[in-house]
Structures are given as C-alpha cells and as structure tokens.
A and B are shown apart, each in its own frame.
Chain A
Amino acid sequence: MSSAAFVVIAILTLAAAVAAATLQKLMHAALCFAVAFVGVAAFFFLLDAEFVGLVLVFVYIGAVAVLIVFTILLTRRDLGKDRSFNWSGVVIAIAVFGGLLWAIFKTQMLWVAAPQIQPLTVKRIGAVLMIDYVWPLQCVGLLLTAALIGALVLVMEEKR
C-alpha cells in the first residue's frame, strides 16, 4: 500500500519537477514548482512526519511559491521569447548531479536501517528549538527582523 503510494507520488513529483524545468512560460514553470512541493510534502506524510509536511506546504506553497510568482510578474514579460539552449546550465546541472552522486556513494552504511527514533511530535520540536537550539533560533529571528526593517526602509525611500 505504502510503496504503491510512494511510486504514484514519486511519478507526480518528478513529472512536476521536469515540467518546471522545461516549460517555456515562466508562470507555468512556477506553478509546476508548487505542485512538486506538494509531492515532497506528501512524502513527509508518508513517512509519518506530518508536522514537517504541513510546514512545507505552509511555507513553500503559501509563501515561497507566491513570492516566486510575484517576482515573475515584476520581471520583463517577453523574457521567454529569445531563450536559446544554455550549455552552461547543462554543465552546472551535471556538476551538481555528480556532486550529489559522489556524496551518496561516499556515505557509509547506506543499507543499514536507521535506529528507531522517538516519534517526531510538535512538542518535541518545540522543546528542542527552545532549549538546545535557542541561540541559532534567536539569530535567525534577528536576521529576519533586520530583513523586514530593511524592506521597509527601501519602500520608505521611494516615497520621498
């Protein structure tokens, strides 16, 4: 049952990802990207990591996909017309793929099952964030606040 679901979700996710990479219209690509995110979130659901899956949907579809879509709106419209085949992109893609492959084959004990971990509850995530990783959390908060204020400053200068 779960392996059948895995195959179906994998095919959908990969199809959406390929579509996002190959479609001519940028907007279609962005929307396919969102579909791919849904597929990845479904994988987390399949792995009983509901919280991570939900946060993925929440952040990546609710925020990141909308952000991408807005960015496309703000760029030039006729960008898709003179898009020739880009060889440097192929080189980068192969390099990244090779790097990932190398990392995967370097990893020891790929076939050993992971030890049984405690179920990933929201409570545990909260406790870990607030106790063990409180400093990184605060730093991220500071960074985001700075970004927010920076964005406000940018907008305010435009007004003058």
Chain B
Amino acid sequence: MGDSVDQIFIRAKQWLLSPLAHSPDWLVQIFSSLINIAALLAFFLTLFAAISVLERKILGRIQNRYGPNRVGPFGLFQPVADGIKMLIKEDVVPLRADKIVHFCAPILMAATAILALGVIPYGRNMTPFAIDGGVLFFFAVGSTTELAVFMAGWGSNNKFSMLGAMRAIAQMFSYELPLIITVLPVVMIVGSLTPDQIVAAQNSYWFVLTPWGAVAFILFFVSGLVESNRTPFDVPEGESEIVAGHMTEYSGFKYATFFLAEYLGMFATSGLGVTLFLGGWQAPFRLLEFIPSYVWFFAKLSILLFVYIWLRGTLPRTRIDQIMNFAWKFMLPMSFTCIIAAAVWHYTGRGWVGWLWSLGVIAVVYVALSMLLDTKRKFAPRTYRFAE
C-alpha cells in the first residue's frame, strides 16, 4: 500500500508509456523525456504562482498588514491576475537596444534555471534527468546564468542595466566559489557526483547533523541566497540606486520571465540543498517512512523557501562592498575548512570521535578568522571613496 502511493507517479508514467511498448527504443525515450519535462514545468510553474502570492502574504504578516486579499478567496487568485496583466502589457524594446541579445537574455535565464531543476531527485526513483555527474551538471548550467545576466545588461544599452549586470556578475562570481566548495565535502564523503547516490548515502543520518555538514549547509544556503539575488543580497536590482538593475529595460512578459527564472533558481538551489544536506527524500525516522518520499522532499523544500521569504522580510539590504568582503574573507576560508573538517571526520572513524574532532577544527578556524577579521574599529564615521 505504502509502496504504491510512493511510486504513484512512476506508475502513472509507465501507464502513459504503455501504448508505445512495441515502438522503437528512441521513440519511447523521447516520450519519456517529454513526460518528465511536462511534469517538471507544470509543477514548478504552479509552485511559482503559489509562492508569489504566499510570499506577499507572509511579508504582509511580517510587516503587520494584509497581503493581497482582493482577488478570489484570501487573494489566492492574485497570480492569475498578475499573469494576465503581464501578458497583455506592452512589450517595450528600447530603440538603441541590441534586439537579439535583449530578446535572448530572459529566455536563456529561464532555460538554465529549468535545466538545473532537472537533476534533483524529487522522490524515490523520481529524478527527471538522471546522469552520473548530476551535481556537476547543476553547477555547469548554473554558471551560464552569469552570461544571461550580462546579455540582459549589455543588450539593453542602458547605464543602469549595465551597472546592475556588473554588480550581479561580481557577486555571483564571488559566491559561486563557496557554493561549489561547500558541496565538495559531501561529494568527498559519498564518493559520487550522482544526486541519487548522495541521497542514498544519507540513509542513517543526514549530513546536516555532522559539524562539517551543518557549517557547509549554512554557507551553501547563504551563497544560494546571493546566487538567486534575493534580499539581503539584492543589490543588483536595488531600486533605490539603479532602478531595477539588469531588468530596467524589460517590460511585460520578459520582465515576468526574469522573475520566473529568479524563483526557479531559488527552487533549484533549495532543492540541491535538501538533496545534499537534508537527506533528500528520506524520512527523518524509520517510523515515518509510510509517508511518500516526494512529500518529504517538498516538506523540506517548503521550509527552506519559507526561510528565504522570512529573511527577505527581516533583513535590510547589505552594501555591495560588504557582500564582496564577506565572500572572500569569511565564506571562502570557512568553506575550505569544511573540506578539511570532513576529511578529519572521515579519517577519525565517522563516529562521535570524528564528530568532536571535526567540530574542533571548525571552531579553531572560526575563532581565528573572527579574530583576524575584527578591525577593532567600532562605528567609525563613514568614509567615501570616489572614482578619479
């Protein structure tokens, strides 16, 4: 009984493919991929709509006001209204813009985000695009986003767009390093780049429960926050400074596509975080395994998404130089420490002794770093530097 509920989507796919039983192999393969893609898109576009209204509701709650509450019961149909509005808006392309590049940028951005979603295991046997180097695929595809942001900034032929794109690329480059390096300890301990095997390796305990895993998870989460350009790290689109950054010259559905890409990127990063550190689709206790695997995955995913929204409602925007300093002076050394701590944990037997040893390594580096980075300059008057 429990098994059939768990595998219900697999069964459904097999049922859909059953009329093709006697056709050639490649046809079945193409249809199988199409079904995967359709399911992925349908689910995540719905989630995007749901999260857009939920985010405004939660932000409203945090800021002590009602969120959207006009369209439908509790304002639940707000995304429909938003979608219609975005679709019928005029699509303005600047006269001096590079038309092709301007047009391709949002498409490339959304496409890479969707591709990145493909390698995440959403449940038992539920990886849409299962390849050996799944984790590497995720980052290879994710690194293309920078080019898309640049295309948006350059193609718009606008100073604000260009500045926004420069900021975005600068911070994405800086935080891609800790993002990838914090994944390395997991890959090292599991000995595989395949997301399915990483989930399987967390059968008895989740990696977030080890010292190196906990630190790596926090670093990963912060880097993911920066990669998806969300508050407190949303300087690329800081509206008080540079209008909307690389999205300044976009309107109507192209603008919506950028937002879609941003949210899909957020889903993908959180999904990878769940896969790598929070046990993927595994239940926390054996007792709870009767609940289907995909329910667990989405429960964990929703918690992470809630934290994203919570942080947005709580924290103010950081300055760009603070973001960069934090990346290179703190995040990067700490993520290297995670690798060493994981190695120490492995070579001291993966038991509680290893647990203590790796905690010690991390604590020593953390204290040393904080002493080193402490400038002893408390609330000095702000100094300004201008370009000559």
Contact = CB atoms under 8 A, between A and B. Distances in A.
A69 B150 contact: yes
Contacts of B136: 51, 54-55, 58, 122
Interface residues of A, number: 22
Contacts of B143: 57-58, 61-63
Contact of A65 (B26, B132, B137, B147): B147
Interface in A46-74: 50-51, 54-55, 57-58, 61-63, 65-66, 69, 73
Contacts of B141: 57
Query: Chain A: interface secondary structure?
Result: helix
A66 B166 CA distance: 11
A31 B151 contact: yes
B131 interface: yes
A27 to B, nearest CB: 6
Contact of B140 (A57, A66, A122): A57
A123 B137 CA distance: 16
B169 interface: yes
A28 B176 CA distance: 26
A5 B169 CA distance: 34
B101 A50 contact: no
Contacts of B137: 54
B154 interface: yes
A28 B133 contact: no
A142 to B, nearest CB: 17
B290 to A, nearest CB: 36
A57 B145 CA distance: 12
A62 B140 contact: yes
Contacts, number: 59
Contacts of B146: 62, 66
A36 interface: no
Contacts of B150: 66, 69
Interface in A134-152: none
A1 interface: yes
B193 interface: yes
A62 B116 CA distance: 14
A62 B147 CA distance: 7
SS class, residues of chain B in contact with chain A: helix
Contact of B139 (A27, A28, A58, A73): A58
A123 B191 contact: yes
A121 interface: yes
Interface string A107-122: 0000000000000011
A121 B194 CA distance: 12
A51 B140 contact: no
Contacts of A63: 143
A51 B133 contact: yes
Contacts of B370: none
Nearest to B162: A73
Contacts of B131: 50
A20 interface: no
Q: What are the 10 tightest A-B residue pairs by CB atom distance, in nearest-first order?
A: A62-B143, A58-B140, A57-B140, A54-B140, A54-B136, A1-B26, A54-B133, A50-B133, A66-B146, A61-B144
Interface of B: 26, 98, 100-101, 131-133, 136-137, 139-141, 143-144, 146-147, 150-151, 154, 169, 173, 176, 191, 193
8 contacts: A1-B26, A25-B98, A27-B154, A28-B98, A51-B132, A54-B137, A58-B139, A123-B191
Given A69-B150, A123-B191, 11 more contacts: A27-B154, A28-B101, A51-B133, A54-B140, A61-B144, A61-B147, A62-B143, A62-B144, A63-B143, A65-B147, A66-B169
